[in-house]
Amino acid sequence: MPSGMDAFQASQTGIERVQSLCHCALRAGHEVLFITHAKLLAQLHAARPTNTFERKLQQLAWIEVLAIDDFGLRPMRSPQDEDFHDLELVARRVPVL
């Protein structure tokens, strides 16, 4: 990347901007997870029958940069919308360092 340009100016597409942001966060020492919306919802859904849902929410909430690709491309149905809402509520309770 040329000197003086930030990650957003050097990228052409949305996904490249997100990847650049994630890369900058990693280099700054932050924990980053880049995941598709479908995979995130699948992981949350899979955690319910194994009684690990709350633990999965806590793990995701402590990730400093959670980049969710393809968010909103497909409508969320119940219980997906509830799972995502639960993740948002848990993340708000985690203190910002």
pLDDT digits (tens, 9 = 90+) for 37-50: 889 989 989 998 99
* Range name among 3-7, 33-37, 45-49, 54-58 with the lowest pLDDT average: 3-7
pLDDT of residue 94: 60
More confident residue, 73 or 7: 73
Same domain assignment for residues 10 and 46? no
Q: Output the CA angle 31-3-68, nearest 5 degrees.
A: 30
Q: Is the pTM of this model over 0.75?
A: no
Which value, to the nearest 10 degrees, does the dihedral of the CA atoms of residues 97, 90, 25, 47 take? 140
Are 23 and 67 in the same domain? Answer: no
Q: 15 and 46: one domain?
A: no
Q: Are residues 12 and 40 in the same domain?
A: no
Range of the domain at 65: 35-97
Give the mean pLDDT of the chain.
Answer: 79
Look at the chain and report how many structural domains it folds into. 2
